[in-house]
Amino acid sequence: ETGVTQTPRHLVMGMTNKKSLKCEQHLGHNAMYWYKQSAKKPLELMFVYNFKEQTENNSVPSRFSPECPNSSHLFLHLHTLQPEDSALYLCASSPGASGSREQFFGPGTRLTVL
Amino acid sequence: SQELEQSPQSLIVQEGKNLTINCTSSKTLYGLYWYKQKYGEGLIFLMMLQKGGEEKSHEKITAKLDEKKQQSSLHITASQPSHAGIYLCGADIITGTASKLTFGTGTRLQVTL
C-alpha cells in the first residue's frame, strides 16, 4: 500500500461513453499527477496539480478533462475517447510540485477503449 | 530521441548474480528517482538522488548518481526472484529556468532459478 488509491482498477468503454477515473491520496501531500503508460513508451506526464491548481498540462487532448476538488482527490473525466487512448492510467502524489518530487503512485486503472 | 535513456531494455539473470541498470541524460538532472513496477501495477519508489556523486543503498540495491549529474546506475547484488519487475528511472531535467519531470522507458528484469 502506497497511500494512493485508484478506482476503478479496470475499465472498458466505448468511444461514445463518458466515464471518470478517481484517485485519492491519504498522505497529506499537496501535489497530484496523472500519467499515461502505454506499451513500449515512456511514462507520459499528463497533468500536475499543486494545492488544487493545475500547474502543468502536457498538450493533452481535450477529451481528457482533469478535476482536483481538493489536495486529496483527483479525477480524470473521459469523453469520446479513441482506441489509442487504451493504456494504464496512473495517479501519483508528492509533498510538493517543485523541488524534490518523490512521488507515490497508485495501482493504476487499466483502460480499454473499444 | 528519449530525454532519459535506460539500458538494457531487458535483462535475464540467474538467481544470485549481480546486475546493473543504467539511466543516462544529455542534460543536467536536478533530481533522479528510481522506481520498480510489477507488470500492470503502480510504481514503487526505491530511491532518490540529488547530489553529484551521491550513492544510496537499500537492502541489496545500490543507486549512484555521477558527478556531472547526467548518469545514474542501479546495482542489485545477489539477485532474487523478488527483484523481478520493471525498473524505471525518472528525473527532473533542467530546461532553461524550469525543470521537467521525465521518465525512461524502463528495464524489464527477469530472475531465473
- Chain B residues closer than 8 Å to A98 by CB: 99
Q: Residue B94 pairs with which residues in a beta bridge?
A: B99
Quick one: which of A76, A87, A101, A53 has its CA closest to A6?
A76
Write down the pLDDT at residue A41: 85
Give the model confidence (pLDDT) of B45-95 as tens digits.
999 998 889 999 988 999 999 988 899 999 999 999 999 999 999 998 777
Q: What is the DSSP secondary-structure string of B11-78?
A: EEEETT--EEEEEE-SS-EEEEEEEEE-TTS-EEEEEEE-STT-EEEETTEEEEE-TTSSEEEEEESS
Backbone φ, ψ for residue B60 (5° rounding): -100, 15
- Chain A residues closer than 8 Å to B29 by CB: none
CB contact under 8 A, A107 and B31: no
pLDDT band for position A59 (cuts 50, 70, 90): confident
Is the model's pLDDT at A99 over the cut of 80? no
CB contact under 8 A, B42 and A106: yes
Give the least confident one: A39-48, A68-77, B57-66: A39-48
CB contact under 8 A, A90 and B43: yes
CB contact under 8 A, B4 and A42: yes
- Chain A residues closer than 8 Å to B101 by CB: 45, 48, 101
CB contact under 8 A, A41 and B105: yes
The DSSP symbol for A99 reads S
Write down the pLDDT at residue B97: 66
Looking at chain A, which residue has its C-alpha nearest residue B43?
A: A105
Write down the pLDDT at residue B1: 59
Q: Is the minimum CB–CB distance between A104 and chain B shorter than 8 Å? A: yes
Write down the pLDDT at residue A67: 96
